[in-house]
Structure 1
């Protein structure tokens, strides 16, 4: 069996971004709120200044208490300076976070909102090729990736670098050998950390991240298909399938974590060298009479400060890299153009007649070698009821998708009420087309919200009227919470017929000039079908109606039946005329014994 999740890995290989590109993507969010970003940075720099002063304050205190004869006032003054320096550092750094935190929350929200908007704008093909669960994991992970990278770069790595270089340079002026040793050790630590993280840890981490997305896709695929799983008693099979994916994640993640441990060990060995070198060099200078006890205390305090920053730097470099990997997918989305974009000058669709014209349309699916439609032309008059019939793959569903502009054409144009749909805003176009699919998917929201999705500003009375016209009101009022009943994910708490009637009620409420019915009564029992057919007659009145037909009962009254074969119309006419003709339609009618 082919593992379809490999597609995700291949796609990731094609769009791996450089760290600098992802970091640039994140930095652009910082610049959106300079009134929060710059105060945070300035306060952080002031706090760093006090942090740099801490070893000198500690050395002064030790010198003051080590002098003879004792001078308590000087010692207490040195003590006050030592305490004051750390207090100022703590208060100012805390103040910096007061600006940083609201900026981070705003930016994390904006990143998620914009990524979701971007994903929604991608084509039907993109969504068909991408696991929804994996996409959800990528969007949610990117938000925290931003947080990790921002904190690492601005709050930790930047200040750490300033403190480490500042202390090393200050030592160079007083003890050149000690300062150069400290600077060389810091440079070795940072360089090795960066190299090991990028070259040794990151490849393993990218695989872990991809497998994390794969787990999300696999879980969503199984959970949303739970009714099918239960129908076939396939729970053990699905558990084994998920276990296979999680086992692969486990094995890859252990490798990643162990590589982090390897880097951590190397870093700590470098810190041991720094500790031994700094303290040893100052003890030697003390033994030679070239350094005081306060200078030794300075060296110890400097090591504690530097080791803390270096340790944080190592952890934050790894955190930054993980954050960059987590945000990489959303950064890539931001660079991807929508596959079916609105034109910059796209006008709002305006039309109430519902005239549809295909003018020499050529269209092929991206995976097809030859066009499905080639120089295809057709006109549907305003208010006409047209049924589309034919074998699977003949082009019926594609016809409707092209009317909705879910795909762009290779050549030709489609006009609705005289407007080229390639030149109008897609959202306004689709609001003029009410679609009742064969298997309607509802939101995990209330029944009232699902019906009102067609018109969010509808009143409760309008929602109930639409439900009555769809013959849904009676079953809704029998539910414990009535219109406030949650329908479950994709409407699983309702029967097929109930979901269908909610979708029909939604179409009533939309009041669009064009109506698309994809065998909209297929899930209804005979009695309810008669009622809904009567309601749909009312709904179709005055509207252009396209029926993708599988059942004879839905197309007997059509003004025109179009018989599709391989993207071409091979016959058209009314039901009785086509049956008498004895052609393709009559053969379909005979084979299905009245079911088309």
Structure 2
């Protein structure tokens, strides 16, 4: 199972520290200082009233212990006791009114930022990473932020105030009681922090990684369900998913077991706090240095302290899990995109579609030697150029480089006289329309898929593009016409229908450069004729690059370039190259029976 995930695990780079992850979260807190300040200030005020509760309870018990002869002090103490808790509840609730928009907006922006960062990563990064794992990490980080924010702003700070305040109150009145309470509190909190980070976190990181792996494995199998059914491989896929979930089960049981062990250890510390606090106050009472109300204070103080300590312990553990959930997205924020716009990048200005490679050197990261080594080529505006050659010869790389999906190591690529490394990537790619071999459509309506090239297109413009792509007739035969949902990646449509939708999209884009990447290789003869006719119309007036193995589709090209290991070994028109008797002629001979 692990072999499939080696490249993805490389993308994780190094483990971030808790401080780095917390710093990442704090960056979102600083975006809304007033909401954060309102949350923290109101919470602290509420905690002040919570801190008064043991004192108010002691006053009430002392007043009651004085006897019913004069009940007024008891009723006043009762009103104080009830009023303190009422004030705590109302102010605490008001603090939540600040926290809700604070957290919800930050969670939205964290997810948006993470998605933007992922979109900016290179094609290599996406090829090495399971899409399902990335989705899982983004959604998990959103809720991880919520857990960490609640723990830090709502629990840790207020708990520190309450626990510190109670310890000071005890120190001032009963030093031995105060010292004991302080010692247990400090040991409880520090052991929670360090044991969680050093003992529980390694196991939790492993279970988090396996949770991402489940997302990747599920998405991989579900998105390929048609292939699974074709081979009757449902049981095999169930076994494969079962293997991943079994690894997750074992890792998660270990994680939960460690957290449960920590919970038991710290509950024993709370038992010690209960016994010590009440026992020391009883000792003070037996020596005449504490009243009945003081005993009530001790009991109430223990209940308050144990509640906050228990919450601190639980929130330290959940905050650690939350930070582990956020870690991947925090790492994304620290990862520079592999292809970035220059600081002064200007929008690309599309003109006639001239393409020039000037002594270009390019090497894939996994290759030892460059594929292109001082590669030079000029494609004239409006020229139709076909690229042929064996797999790995550099045809697809040529297209990826003009789209700037990768940066070259040396040399320059110019389109319409503009260095593509000095223009914005988005504007450059909008000037290049691509019709791939297997178009991937969104699970949206046909109208949305066609207008993806130009979202502001009117319905009439969408219909015109579909007509020109020979797609209108089959669309109108569908029950909902242009409002028909096409399924994930367009699975509800045939290959020819998807091709025509992609061509309609290219018509609507109206880009000066057109790339046809094996656009008819998998179609039946009748469908191929329809698609070919649509492509012929689409190519008019555009610089066109055709990648093809079926030589019948490129006979009318102005120029055919034969690639071999990143070099052009032959070029010319179809008839000329056949007469030369070289590499192209051999390819033609192999495919002649098909042609």
- 1:237 corresponds in structure 2 to 236
- 2:496 corresponds in structure 1 to 497
Counterparts in 2 of 1:399 and 1:595: CA distance versus 1, 3 Å: farther
* Structure 1 segment 9-24 matched on structure 2, within 5 A: 9-12=9-12, 14-24=13-23
Task: Give 1:298 deviation, angstroms.
Answer: 0.1
Counterparts in 2 of 1:2 and 1:108: CA distance versus 1, 3 Å: closer
- 2:295 corresponds in structure 1 to 296
* Partner Cα distance (1:486, 1:345) in 2: 41
- 1:323 corresponds in structure 2 to 322
- 2:467 corresponds in structure 1 to 468
* Structure 1 segment 434-473 matched on structure 2, within 5 A: 434-473=433-472
CA deviations on 1:323-366 (whole Å, 9 max, x unpaired) are: 10000000000001100011111000002200000000000000
* Partner Cα distance (2:437, 2:306) in 1: 65
* Partner Cα distance (2:504, 2:11) in 1: 40
* Partner Cα distance (1:438, 1:594) in 2: 22
- 2:43 corresponds in structure 1 to 44
CA deviations on 1:165-193 (whole Å, 9 max, x unpaired) are: 11001110000000010000000100111
Contact 1:551–1:594 (CA under 8 A) maintained in structure 2 = no
Contact 1:383–1:545 (CA under 8 A) maintained in structure 2 = yes
3-state SS in 1 of match to 2:412: strand
Task: Give 1:573 deviation, angstroms.
Answer: 0.3
- 2:165 corresponds in structure 1 to 166
Alignment of 1:259 with 2:258, yes or no, is yes
Task: Give 1:289 deviation, angstroms.
Answer: 1.1
- 2:100 corresponds in structure 1 to 101
Task: Give 1:395 deviation, angstroms.
Answer: 0.3
3-state SS in 1 of match to 2:453: coil
- 1:478 corresponds in structure 2 to 477
CA deviations on 1:538-563 (whole Å, 9 max, x unpaired) are: 21111000000121221010000000
Task: Give 1:595 deviation, angstroms.
Answer: 5.3
* Structure 1 segment 126-137 matched on structure 2, within 5 A: 126-137=125-136
* Partner Cα distance (1:156, 1:45) in 2: 10
3-state SS in 2 of match to 1:128: helix
Counterparts in 2 of 1:4 and 1:577: CA distance versus 1, 3 Å: same
Contact 1:348–1:428 (CA under 8 A) maintained in structure 2 = yes
Task: Give 1:69 deviation, angstroms.
Answer: 6.0
- 1:428 corresponds in structure 2 to 427
Alignment of 1:549 with 2:556, yes or no, is no
- 2:576 corresponds in structure 1 to 577
Alignment of 1:156 with 2:159, yes or no, is no
Contact 2:103–2:146 (CA under 8 A) maintained in structure 1 = yes
Contact 2:358–2:377 (CA under 8 A) maintained in structure 1 = yes
* Partner Cα distance (2:531, 2:253) in 1: 58
Task: Give 1:4 deviation, angstroms.
Answer: 1.2
Q: CA RMSD in A?
A: 1.1
Task: Give 1:2 deviation, angstroms.
Answer: 6.1
Task: Give 1:525 deviation, angstroms.
Answer: 2.8
Task: Give 1:11 deviation, angstroms.
Answer: 4.0
Task: Give 1:311 deviation, angstroms.
Answer: 0.4
* Partner Cα distance (1:135, 1:359) in 2: 37
- 1:121 corresponds in structure 2 to 120
Task: Give 1:68 deviation, angstroms.
Answer: 3.7
Contact 1:455–1:510 (CA under 8 A) maintained in structure 2 = yes
* Partner Cα distance (2:518, 2:11) in 1: 36
CA deviations on 1:519-551 (whole Å, 9 max, x unpaired) are: 212233322322332222221111000000121
Contact 1:550–1:595 (CA under 8 A) maintained in structure 2 = no
CA deviations on 1:222-266 (whole Å, 9 max, x unpaired) are: 111111111111111111110000000000100111111100000
List runs of 5+ in structure 2 lacking aligned partners. none
* Partner Cα distance (2:4, 2:529) in 1: 43
- 1:204 corresponds in structure 2 to 203
- 1:62 corresponds in structure 2 to 61
* Partner Cα distance (2:509, 2:422) in 1: 23
- 2:382 corresponds in structure 1 to 383
